[in-house]
Amino acid sequence: MGAIEIQRVYDHRDPTGAVFLVDRMWPRGVRKDDLPLDGWPRDVAPSTELRQWFGHRPERFEAFAERYRRELDGHREELEPLLAAARRGTVTLLYGAKDTEHNQAVVLRDYLREQL
């Protein structure tokens, strides 16, 4: 079983293993040709409603994480490619948020680790 790493898409530096974009929307200013991905599972990203409610406000992160985990519980099938890749080796989850500690990739990484 490999590691699950997270990396900000704008700080993109040769991610290792399988690479997945975990944002619902494509990151602004990034050309699709410049971002070689193994997948873009949009349905594992937080719902639009949850993302807008959170608004990247750190004081809402704990509640956001709890709600997002409930959403992830309902997307088992969409999570399977990420889990399968992690069983084979390292996985890098790319995200666009500026805050490196309070974002959905942090929650998703921890959630996937628990599932393995």
- If we measure between CA atoms, which residue out of 99, 18, 106, 24 comes closest to residue 69? 106
Residue 91 has pLDDT above 80, yes or no: yes
The rounded distance, in Å, linking the Cα atoms of 89 and 15 is 13
Contact 107, 68 (CB under 8 A): yes
Residue 15 has pLDDT above 80, yes or no: no
Residue-level pLDDT at 11: 87
Residue 2 has pLDDT above 80, yes or no: no
- 80 three-class SS: helix
Residue 108: pLDDT band by 50, 70, 90 thresholds? Answer: very high
Sign for the CA dihedral angle at 53, 40, 1, 4 comes to negative
Residue 36: pLDDT band by 50, 70, 90 thresholds? Answer: confident
**Average pLDDT of the segment spanning 1-12:** 88
What pTM was computed for the model?
0.93
Q: Give pLDDT tens digits for 37-61.
A: 999 999 999 999 999 999 999 999 9
